[in-house]
Amino acid sequence: MSLNPDQMFWQRTINRIYNGSGKRIVVPDDFRSRMQQIHTLFDNDYTGIVSTIIDFMVGTGTVPMNFITDNDNLTRTLQNWSVHQLNKDINLDIPKGLEALTTQYMRERFRSSFLCLNIVWDKIDGLILPSKMWFADGASIIVQPDEEGRLDKKKYFLGDVDNEIKMTTKNTTAIIRKPYNAWYDDYPTPYLVKRGVLYNAMLKRALINKQSDVIEEMIPYLLMIRAGDANLVAKNAMGDIEAQLTKVKDSLKKQRMIEQQMLEFLAT
């Protein structure tokens, strides 16, 4: 069956809108690509849901923590350390105290779920305590598994393979945790991927984009000016119709008279 020109026009328009829509929504397999998608989602949350709830989880998860021991002096020292000494004077944009660190823990847990806590030890009030603690960007960690699959030979690097994360050095310690994965997993599954949130967020983005594509494409057609609109008569926008009609009638009468005169002339 052949299409008429109008049908062909709409066929072309719809094809243009849906061009490329055959792509399936696929959550990437590798950790780094997943993290790129998650960063995009948090940077500009097109779902309007995910970032709000994750912020709520981070906010409610950031609870104050107290140290209580049998020794009052030790309790006081640890309290002072956790509130005033930890991460003191690192930089003007780094808050001090354990509570700020807990916020970072929660953020990293719900983003990459790859927690790498770095600790620098120092002498504080006569005790060896962490003077600096921070979580590395989980998305930047590279894992080098052991060929034999041994857990104690697995290596971790930050950024590139020249920058190995050492478990302990003279005054530093690093601790890595993957809260949602087995010990033998090299890279963790980010929380949002594991719970299907990233997939649904990508699906929602695709749907919203498609809707906006259609609307953008259709708006010019909705606004087009129609010639010969029937509503013009109702709105009295076509001028004096009675006068125009009389004019047409007169013209027809005149034409008829001319025709009759012609016929009479031919008959004579």
Partner 1 sequence: MILKGRYDLQLDQFIPDLTKLVNTTIVEPVNYDLLAGLGLIELQGFSSSRQETILNPKVLVEEINTAIMDCKKLYDNVV
Q: Which residues lie near partner 1 (CB under 8 A)?
A: 6, 10, 47, 49-50, 53-54, 57, 60-61, 63, 65, 67, 78, 98, 102, 105-106, 109-110, 115, 117, 119, 129-130, 133, 173, 175, 177, 179, 192, 195-197, 200-201, 203-204, 207-208, 211, 214-215, 218, 220-230
Q: Which amino acid is at 54?
A: I
* CB-CB contact of 116 with 135 (8 Å): yes
Quote the CA–CA distance of 145 and 120 in Å, as a whole number. Answer: 26
**For partner 1, the closer CB: 53 or 262:** 53
Q: Which amino acid is at 132?
A: K
Question: In this structure, what token pair is assigned to residue 117?
Answer: 């806590």
Please state the closest distance from residue 264 (CB atom) to partner 1, in A. Answer: 40
Give the SS3 label for residue 66: coil
**For partner 1, the closer CB: 92 or 230:** 230
Question: Is 207 exposed, middle or buried (CB count within 10 Å of its CB: 0-12, 13-18, 19+)?
Answer: exposed
* CB-CB contact of 156 with 141 (8 Å): yes
236: which DSSP letter? T
**For partner 1, the closer CB: 141 or 197:** 197
Please state the closest distance from residue 254 (CB atom) to partner 1, in A. Answer: 28
Please state the closest distance from residue 89 (CB atom) to partner 1, in A. Answer: 20
Please state the closest distance from residue 175 (CB atom) to partner 1, in A. Answer: 6
**For partner 1, the closer CB: 149 or 239:** 239
**For partner 1, the closer CB: 38 or 115:** 115
Q: Residues with Cβ < 8 Å from 103, sequence gap 6 or more?
A: 58, 62
DSSP lists the bridge partners of residue 115 as 177
Please state the closest distance from residue 128 (CB atom) to partner 1, in A. Answer: 10
Question: In this structure, what token pair is assigned to residue 200?
Answer: 């649904």
**For partner 1, the closer CB: 78 or 142:** 78
Please state the closest distance from residue 112 (CB atom) to partner 1, in A. Answer: 14
